[in-house]
């Protein structure tokens, strides 16, 4: 199927049937997320991949009882950095140097651009910027899941402070931003399974200048 067919097929599943997604597909999905775009390429987030049913049962009330939290195969929690530090920038530059076989000195301007943009921002602004990068990763995840014929449900509907406490995210320098339940739609129980996709027309959505 083409990418457009894949995107037409996907929707935010309201009920899942508990089926496990094959591990090979999960690994491809995670690799797609790893390859997602982010500001400066910095990837200022971590993704927690949760299969443990007991932990997901604890998360469900934090997510206002949404059934996909426990009915899905895997629950991904996208958590952004709380701050961008000199140390994190240096670690990223070291990765760039090793990956591209470029001396650190040659990356001085690149590092300066990142540091100049990020370090002058207040910590709250850094955290907000990092959270916006999570949405880029989520978009990649949704498209990749559709291509793999994995059903998915992106979630903002949860109490971040409580999820952060449960997962001890603050101690890791992180805060939860989004969750993504992945699994298989329940064709018998999901009232949206045969619903037509509702989107504005291109004429309404795009302004061509």
Q: What is the pTM of this model?
A: 0.96
What rounded mean pLDDT belongs to the chain? Answer: 97
What's residue 75's pLDDT?
98
Burial of 30 (0-12, 13-18, 19+ CB in 10 A): middle
What's residue 163's pLDDT?
98
Residue intervals in the chain for CATH 3.40.109.10: 3-36+44-82+127-205
What is the CATH number that goes with domain 3-36+44-82+127-205? 3.40.109.10
CA atoms within 13 A on the CB side of 25: 16
d(CA 78, CA 49): 9
Beta bridge partners of 183: 151
């Amino acid at each position: 199927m083409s990418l457009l067919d894949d995107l037409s097929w996907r929707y935010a599943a309201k009920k899942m049937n508990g089926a496990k997604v094959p591990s090979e597909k999960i690994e491809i999905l995670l690799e797609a997320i790893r390859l997602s775009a982010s500001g400066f390429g910095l990837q200022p987030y971590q993704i927690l991949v949760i299969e443990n049913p007991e932990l997901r049962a604890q998360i469900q009330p934090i997510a206002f009882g949404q059934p996909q939290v426990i009915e899905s195969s895997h629950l991904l929690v996208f958590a952004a950095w709380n701050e961008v530090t000199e140390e994190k920038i240096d670690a990223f530059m070291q990765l760039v140097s090793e990956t591209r076989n470029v001396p650190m000195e040659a990356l001085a301007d690149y590092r300066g651009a990142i540091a100049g943009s990020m370090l002058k921002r207040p910590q709250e602004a850094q955290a907000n910027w990092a959270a916006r990068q999570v949405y880029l990763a989520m978009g990649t995840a949704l498209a990749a899941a559709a291509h793999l014929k994995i059903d998915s449900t992106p979630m903002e509907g949860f109490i971040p402070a409580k999820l952060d406490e449960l997962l001890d995210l603050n101690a890791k320098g992180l805060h939860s931003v989004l969750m993504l339940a992945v699994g298989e739609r329940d064709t018998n129980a999901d009232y949206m399974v045969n619903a037509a996709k509702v989107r504005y027309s291109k004429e309404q959505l795009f302004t061509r200048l």
